[in-house]
Amino acid sequence: MTGSTTQRDREYLQRAIELAGRCPTSTAAFSVGAVIVDAHGAVLATGYSREGDPREHAEEAALGKLTPDDRRLGGATIYSSLEPCSTRASRPRSCTELILASSISRIVFAWREPDLFVDCQGAELLRAAGRQVVEVPDLAHLVRRTNGHLLKS
């Protein structure tokens, strides 16, 4: 785990994990939830995979509810049940790119994206760009359970 977590971090991350349970099931994509919280702890937006259309990712759905220049994003944290994608076939911009295009400074996630579909480098790219990245692996089992339909051999 990089960086420290608070009880509040864990609560928002668990909320993101719960949102992932709302995702329409897909055999070609993970079920992910995301919560964006400002520096004062106010929830700015939430999203989950396939919320608005079948190709939508959770971080994309949450970020799409805010304007890119929203001042509240400065110092904000995005909580995602899964590591933000760094490559995707369904859209030209990855969730990592969308986060980097915002002023969100901190990313907290529970489970590193397994290489089932792509080789994800989201955490590394975000760190390299100077963002604080925190992984909370003791909650990863909850995300794996939500995505169990993809993990069965």
Residues paired with 47 in a beta bridge: 34
56 is catalytic: no
CA distance to 40, 71, 79, per residue, from 82 (Å): 23, 25, 9
DSSP letter assigned to residue 27:
S
Catalytic residue among 51, 56, 59, 135: 59
Torsion of CA 106, 109, 114, 120, to 10 degrees: -10
Residue 45 CB neighbours (<10 A)? 19
Q: Which residue numbers are catalytic?
A: 59
